[in-house]
Chain A
Amino acid sequence: NAGVTQTPKFQVLKTGQSMTLQCAQDMNHEYMSWYRQDPGMGLRLIHYSVGAGITDQGEVPNGYNVSRSTTEDFPLRLLSAAPSQTSVYFCASSVGTSAEQFFGPGTRLTVL
């Protein structure tokens, strides 16, 4: 199993550009989440999904969209990048509530 994979590893955007961060898992996990981590802070939940076709907002959803068309994939879209979105983004998955979450390697995003 590859576990949770994320692409790209690094990305530099200009203000106003859009892009999609990819996340995939091969563990047949129903639950997937996106977090961002800013320097000196813990992770904050952006969006999450409890199964294909079901998504909802987390703590900091503004400026981001998600969709979940398959169990395996959970892409995060930045609609119009802003410098405040400079961060490290982690995708995570788990088999269900109360189960441990497995985190991907992260995407380091810089918005100029």
Chain B
Amino acid sequence: ELKVEQNPLFLSMQEGKNYTIYCNYSTTSDRLYWYRQDPGKSLESLFVLLSNGAVKQEGRLMASLDTKARLSTLHITAAVHDLSATYFCAVDMYGGSRLTFGEGTQLTVNP
């Protein structure tokens, strides 16, 4: 059974600081996704990582994938308040876009 674990689950940080969210998964896969969810809203796709060593960046967010370690990271650089949201990683182990999600990391960026 595939398990996807994120840590931390809650993260409170100051504006301007850097931090990393970790996503560990239990079974081999080279398809990992990051999503953002604002309160009461749907999920917004951030990154699609499809190979070992993949790195993608968008603004203050950078995601990477290490399939051998079964680990993905979402790095936040110089956080701003607008980044406050819940971030989910999800793994597609079986294909067919059948995603297994982590519990989510609730990020709060304080002024």
What residues of chain A have their CB less than 8 Å away from a CB belonging to chain B?
A: 31, 33, 35, 40-45, 48, 50, 56, 58-59, 90, 92, 94, 96-106
Contact = CB atoms under 8 A, between A and B. Distances in A.
Given A97-B92, A98-B50, A102-B45, A42 B97 contact: no
Contacts of A94: 97
B31 A45 contact: no
Interface residues of B, number: 24
B42 A106 contact: yes
Contacts, number: 68
A56 to B, nearest CB: 8
Contacts of B98: 33, 45, 48, 58
Nearest to A58: B98
A2 B35 CA distance: 20
Given A90-B43, A100-B45, A104-B42, A45 B100 contact: yes
Interface in B17-51: 31, 33, 35, 41-45, 48, 50
11 contacts: A33-B97, A35-B101, A41-B103, A42-B104, A96-B97, A97-B92, A97-B96, A101-B45, A101-B97, A101-B99, A103-B43
